[in-house]
């Protein structure tokens, strides 16, 4: 059971931001869900909700990155790892009854033009995930530029599949993406003269 008040605030805010958005989540709701006094929130986060959102995003990035690295490490190939991670996301959404706590897309979309600090934190999170994919592709001896493009493509495909699954309240898009990933990205031909080092 968690006893660290700061961690409780971050976990509560992360869930609320992911499920209902940054602007729709107020300090009072975070305090109520956390069962903590108002003074304690400003003790840990003097700049209020914005600072709390920053740290919540950082923790989310660490959590997502760890999950991806764990899945990739257990897979025999990058393709298998990517497919397994998509299935893992689908299972997590199903388990959490379609709560979008596996993506930062909602907060990214609603703050990109209104809060530069949060926008930059979202950008760093997406880049961190992209770098993990890129390093996986580099192990296949691909050109760095192409490995980076593939990594960015995977971030876009994954976030799109998550959004569609949540909208449909059906994880079929994530499962379909996992099943058809070899068709979208022809891994059998990636080591040809156009892509290999």
- Specify which residues 196 forms β-bridges with: 142
Q: What is the mean pLDDT of residues 179-183?
A: 90
List pLDDT tens digits, range 101-123: 667 788 888 899 999 999 999 99
For residue 98, what pLDDT is reported?
55
For residue 2, what pLDDT is reported?
47
Min mean pLDDT across 6-15, 31-40, 78-87, 179-188 is at 179-188
- Residue 72 scores a pLDDT above 80: yes
Min mean pLDDT across 40-44, 94-98, 184-188 is at 184-188
Cα(147)–Cα(130) distance, rounded to whole angstroms? 10
Cα(15)–Cα(164) distance, rounded to whole angstroms? 19
Total H helices, total E strands in the chain = 9, 0
**Average confidence score pLDDT of the chain:** 87
For residue 188, what pLDDT is reported?
54
Considering the entire predicted model, what is its pTM? 0.84
DSSP H or E segment with residue 158: helix 144-168
Counting Cα atoms < 13 Å in the Cβ hemisphere of 31 gives 14
The ranges assigned to domains in the chain are: 57-189
Fold of 57-189: Tetracycline Repressor; domain 2 (1.10.357)
């Amino acid at each position: 059971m968690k006893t660290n008040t700061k961690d409780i605030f971050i976990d509560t805010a992360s869930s609320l931001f992911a499920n209902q958005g940054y602007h729709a989540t107020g300090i009072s709701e975070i305090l109520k869900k956390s069962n903590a006094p108002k003074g304690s929130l400003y003790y840990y986060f003097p700049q209020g909700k914005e600072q709390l959102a920053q740290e919540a995003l950082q923790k989310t990035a660490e959590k997502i990155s760890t999950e991806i690295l764990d899945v990739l490490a257990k897979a025999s190939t990058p393709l298998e790892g990517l497919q397994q991670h998509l299935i893992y996301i689908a299972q997590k959404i199903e388990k959490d009854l379609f709560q979008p706590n596996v993506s930062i897309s909602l907060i990214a979309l609603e703050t990109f033009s209104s809060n530069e600090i949060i926008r930059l934190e979202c950008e760093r999170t997406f880049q961190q995930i992209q770098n993990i994919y890129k390093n996986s592709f580099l192990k296949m001896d691909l050109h760095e530029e192409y490995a980076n493009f593939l990594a960015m493509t995977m971030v876009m495909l994954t976030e799109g599949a998550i959004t569609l699954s949540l909208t449909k309240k059906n994880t079929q898009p994530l499962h379909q993406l996992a099943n058809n990933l070899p068709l979208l990205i022809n891994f059998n031909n990636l080591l040809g003269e156009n892509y290999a080092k």
